[in-house]
Structure 1
Amino acid sequence: MITSKDTSLRWDSTLQVLRRLLEQRVALQVSTSYNLKAELTTEEWIMMEKVVNILRYFEEPTKSISKSTATLSDAIPLINSLRKLLENMRGSSPREEENISQKLAGDLLMALNERFKDLKMKRHIA
């Protein structure tokens, strides 16, 4: 679902598009009965729901960190909370990434760790 044209800074656009598609699912399914070539499989709808379910956790922290009044002391607990959440979603080890949710959580965790590798990880979460 996330295309190569997405950038790491525009994941929120992907989230909004997927949410809108899910909202309009019935209308899209009706339109496919008229032989339009926009039909999605049940598996694709389920995958979309799973992606939205994970990306939604980034929405509020991103808004908070993006405020002009945000400081590093605001960002660190939010980033650490996201790390912990993604670790729990991923499973106990990367080898256990059996489904799309676990795989996406693992990929996002790696990206988050890479982007914020200079921030010290604190074990306690505020």
Structure 2
Amino acid sequence: MLRLISMLRLDSMLRLDSMLKLISMLRLDSVYRLDSVLTLGSMLRLNSMLRLSSMLGLDSMLRLGSILRLDSVYRLDSMLRLDNVYRLDSVYRLDSVMRLDSMLRLDSMLRLGKFVET
């Protein structure tokens, strides 16, 4: 009987110990706030990060609708007028410096790094 009790106690001690360890590992609420880690609520808002609705607007990003509106607002051909306004090939050396194909790549436009600077 005492043996059984000591076995049960040992079992419950091991379980309790491992359960407390597991709780302290998973319970990031006191350190990281588990809801913030899982949902990125206070940092990025996971729904905004996935849908990009409040940051960029996913539909606008994919269509480039409200960001650049290449089809109606800027009309890339009239904005740059490669033939008479800037002569992009002579000013920026299209073949070596800007590389129009990389300027129009989606990742370049999302970074807006070289596109806006140049």
Which protein has greater RCO, CA pairs closer than 8 Å, 6+ apart?
1
Larger radius of gyration: 2
- What is the TM-score when the length of structure 1 is the normalising length? 0.24
TM-score (norm 2): 0.25
- Bigger helix fraction: 1
